[in-house]
Every structure is written in structure tokens, then in C-alpha cells.
Amino acid sequence: MSIIWKYLDKRSAAVDALKDYRNMKFIIEHTDDEIKAAYEKMGGISSPQSDGMPHAHNPHAAEDRMIKGIEEIDILRERYRQAVEYMAWFLPAWEELSEDDRYVLDAFYNEDNEYGSGMADDVADYFGIERASAYRRKNRALAKLTTLLFGKP
């Protein structure tokens, strides 16, 4: 075991992983469409623009456009690979949590919510508990997720 693991803030890393979940899911769902759009931009001849201004002729414009498209596709594929790797790591831990724990964590750390923006009240109302108990429930759920993701501290 590396010494660095003793100094890693696992709780903060679990929160960051939780916040990244929706982004990674979006990447996986939409990368194919983005790659198709990049391929479409690569091909074809650009139409001339007659705006009255002289233009410098670039004899390599088509090649430059193709290179730029290939680079964009490589970036999209790498982003997709990272998202798939993330999901293979995160989803088993997320699915291991109870429905209530997932609800609490989603309520507190959803990207649409700012932390502390009344979410404790919503969670408290949902479970019929006090606000302080909602925070304790959130802390327990986050501790479970952290343990599932990184193992025992």
C-alpha cells in the first residue's frame, strides 16, 4: 500500500465522484452523436464567402480541417474511455447503497443544488426527522459511499 493513500482525503474524493456522476453519464450517452458531428465537419468543401474583403488562399485548408477533426475525435474518444472507466468504478458502489442513502446523497450533492440550500429541510421532511438528523443521515450515507469506493480508512 502506497503512503500517499494515508494522506488522501477520501471523503472529499467521494463527494467529487458523486458530483461527477451526471457528467460521466451524459458523456457516455452523447459521445456517439458528437463523434458523428465531428466527422461531418471534416468532410465537404467549404463554400466561398463573398463579403468584399480579400482572402488569403490556404491550399491546405481541407487537410487542416481534417486534422482538426481527427484531433477532436481523439479527445472525444479519450473522454468517453475515462467516463466508462469511472462508471465501472463508481456504479457498483452506488448500487450497493440503499435507496434512502442514494436519495439523501442525491439531494445534498445534486449538481442543481448548492450544498445547504434547503436540502436538509427537504430530506428532513421526506423522512419525517429533524434537520440535524438529516445531516447525520447524509454523513452516514457519505461514509458508506466512501468506504465502498476506497475501502476502510
pLDDT at 113 over 80: no
Report pLDDT digits (tens) over 43-94.
766 566 677 666 667 777 778 888 888 999 999 999 999 999 999 999 999 9
Is the CB of residue 69 less than 8 Å from the CB of residue 38?
yes
> How far is CA 102 from each of CA 52, 74, 106, 139, rounded to the nearest angstrom?
60, 34, 6, 12
> Residue 33 falls within a domain, yes or no?
yes
Q: How many domains, the chain? A: 1
> Residue 92 falls within a domain, yes or no?
yes
> Residue 103 falls within a domain, yes or no?
yes
> Residue 48 falls within a domain, yes or no?
no
pLDDT at 142 over 90: yes
pLDDT value for 147: 92
> Residue 34 falls within a domain, yes or no?
yes
| Dist CA 87 CA 93 (whole Å) | 10
pLDDT at 138 over 90: yes
> Residue 2 falls within a domain, yes or no?
no
pLDDT value for 90: 92
Q: Which domain holds residue 102?
A: 9-43+61-150
The band of 1, judged by pLDDT with boundaries at 50, 70 and 90, is: very low
> Residue 81 falls within a domain, yes or no?
yes
pLDDT at 103 over 90: yes
How many CB atoms lie under 10 A from the CB of residue 17?
A: 20
> Residue 136 falls within a domain, yes or no?
yes
For the chain, give the percent of residues with pLDDT over 90.
43
Is the CB of residue 111 less than 8 Å from the CB of residue 118?
no
pLDDT value for 63: 82
